[in-house]
């Protein structure tokens, strides 16, 4: 059955029109879906019952439900969200004061097999529909019992391998007559799919772009992210530069620190040189250990030292805590653990 959350505002208007309904009915329905965030058709009291019956007949309102939760309310929570076909994906809920962030998945599994990421280890099952990503967002608001003010596409999967559905979900969540989450509060993270970065630079959108870099030299990056063989740094970096120039936005580069692998001062220096031409920020995150990868997080003093080397040379950088490693919050870990059981 079709998910009602798959429809853009214009598509919803067309559906209502095809049911012989005036335009304002689709506006009312949009309000129920994205302002009042109704979870059942019966509550949509101002819609005529014959319209509701037609909608019930054609569309499902349930795009994602909770299968399992790890963690508790004050900290990072990891949710295994069950989709209509029974497939499960992970989402992570993070609270930092007033900042409430949800990290959603865009695919069940992943094709890209980054060395330290559990998502790819379990293989790829399927793309998620836009409504299933919106469903994860709405589920997070339900669990927080509050509004979410940040959305990151950093769960399972590669957003630019499911480009149209991810952009559609982001646009619906951004729509000002509905959820109205600001574009700058929506981050799309890629392992470095060059055509996707180019395409996004042409969208005329204010969404944030994050690029998972993890190494400043090809040989090492190809070992950690096999996608680098397809889109090596000599192609990736100029496209990131073009993106920043064209959109006027700052790109964030993600750099997961792994002890003895990519955390040396020499590599910090190479990173500075590589990124010098680009208006960017580097997010450094200690590795969250995963069973399938034998790397470990850096020593305690390495992270701050690495940040200092970057900032002293004029590269903006921040060291983040890898919150939630106790609850297996790294990409793909919970779903992977489920399968092992
Ligand atoms: N495919 C997209 C988004 C999903 S991964 C991408 O690659 O950006 C989100 C981020 O988590 C990426 O930067 C990824 O490299 C990082 N990540 C995955 N597993 C991790 C782990 N075990 N420890 C730390 N970061 C990890």
154 lines ligand 1 (CB under 6 A): yes
Q: Which ligand 1 atom minimizes the distance to the CA of 110?
A: 1
Active site residue 331: yes
Q: How far is the CA of 301 from the centre of ligand 1 (A)?
A: 22
| pLDDT number for residue 329 | 57
User: Residue 330's pLDDT is what?
Assistant: 58
Ligand 1 pocket, residue 330 CB under 6 Å: yes
Query: How far apart are the CA of 150 and the centre of ligand 1, in A?
Result: 17
pLDDT for 98 equals 87
- pLDDT for the residue numbered 315: 97
Residue 286 pairs in a beta bridge with 257
What is the homologous superfamily of the domain 65-327 according to CATH? Aldolase class I (3.20.20.70)
Ligand 1, atom 5, lies closest to the CA of: 154
Dihedral class, residue 314 (left if φ above 0, else alpha if ψ from -120 to 50, else beta)? left
Atom of ligand 1 nearest to the CA of 210: 8
User: Which pLDDT tens digits describe the chain residue by residue (341 residues)?
Assistant: 799 999 999 999 999 999 999 999 999 999 999 999 999 999 999 999 999 999 999 999 999 999 988 887 667 889 999 999 999 999 999 888 888 999 999 999 999 999 999 888 879 999 999 999 999 999 999 998 899 999 999 999 999 999 999 999 999 999 999 999 999 999 999 999 999 999 999 998 889 999 999 999 999 999 999 999 999 999 999 999 999 999 999 999 999 999 999 999 999 999 999 999 999 999 999 998 888 899 999 999 999 999 999 999 999 999 987 655 555 555 555 555 544 43
- Predicted pLDDT of residue 340: 43
Q: Which of 16, 114, 240, 331 is catalytic?
A: 331
pLDDT given at position 74: 66
Q: Which CATH class is domain 2-60?
A: mainly alpha
Map tokens 């499902």 to a residue: 60
What pLDDT shows up at residue 291?
A: 85
CA distances from 221 to 31, 185, 189, 252 (A): 46, 28, 17, 17
Binding site membership of 254 for ligand 1 (Cβ less than 6 Å)? yes
CA distance 309 to 273: 12
Kind and range of the H or E element at 254? strand 251-257
Q: Centre a 10 Å sphere on the Cβ of residue 274 and count the other Cβ atoms it contains.
A: 19
Would you list the domain boundaries of the chain?
2-60, 65-327
From 189, 213, 224, 303, the mutation candidate for ligand 1 (largest count of ligand atoms within 8 A of CB) is 189
Ligand 1 site-directed mutation target among 108, 253, 256, most atoms within 8 Å of CB: 256
């Amino acid at each position: 059955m079709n998910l009602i959350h798959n429809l853009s505002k214009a598509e919803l208007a067309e559906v209502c029109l095809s049911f012989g309904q005036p335009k304002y009915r689709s506006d009312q329905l949009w309000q129920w879906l994205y302002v009042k965030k109704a979870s059942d058709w019966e509550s949509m009291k101002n819609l005529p019952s014959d319209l509701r019956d037609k909608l019930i007949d054609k569309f499902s309102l349930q795009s994602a439900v909770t299968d399992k939760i790890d963690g508790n309310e004050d900290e990072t929570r990891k949710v295994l969200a069950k989709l209509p076909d029974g497939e499960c994906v992970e989402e992570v809920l993070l609270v930092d004061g007033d900042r409430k962030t949800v990290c959603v998945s865009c695919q069940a599994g992943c094709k890209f097999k980054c060395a330290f990421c559990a998502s790819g280890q379990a293989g790829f099952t399927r793309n998620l529909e836009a409504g299933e990503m919106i469903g994860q967002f709405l589920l997070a608001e339900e669990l927080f019992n509050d509004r979410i003010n940040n959305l990151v596409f950093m769960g399972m999967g590669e957003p630019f391998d499911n480009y149209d559905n991810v952009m559609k979900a982001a646009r619906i969540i951004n729509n000002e007559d509905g959820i109205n989450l600001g574009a700058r509060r929506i981050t799309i993270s890629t392992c470095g799919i060059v055509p996707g970065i180019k395409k996004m630079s042409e969208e005329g959108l204010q969404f944030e772009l994050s690029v998972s870099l993890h190494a400043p030299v090809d040989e090492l990056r190809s070992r950690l992210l096999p996608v680098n063989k397809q889109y090596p740094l000599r192609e990736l970096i100029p496209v990131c530069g073009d993106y920043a120039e064209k959109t006027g936005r700052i790109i964030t580069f993600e750099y997961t620190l792994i002890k003895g692998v990519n955390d040396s001062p020499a590599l910090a220096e190479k990173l500075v040189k590589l990124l010098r031409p680009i208006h960017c920020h580097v997010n450094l995150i200690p590795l969250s250990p995963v069973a399938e990868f034998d790397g470990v997080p850096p020593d305690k003093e390495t992270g701050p030292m690495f940040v200092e080397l970057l900032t002293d040379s004029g590269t903006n950088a921040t060291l983040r805590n890898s919150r939630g490693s106790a609850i297996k919050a790294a990409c793909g870990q919970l779903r992977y653990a489920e399968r092992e059981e």
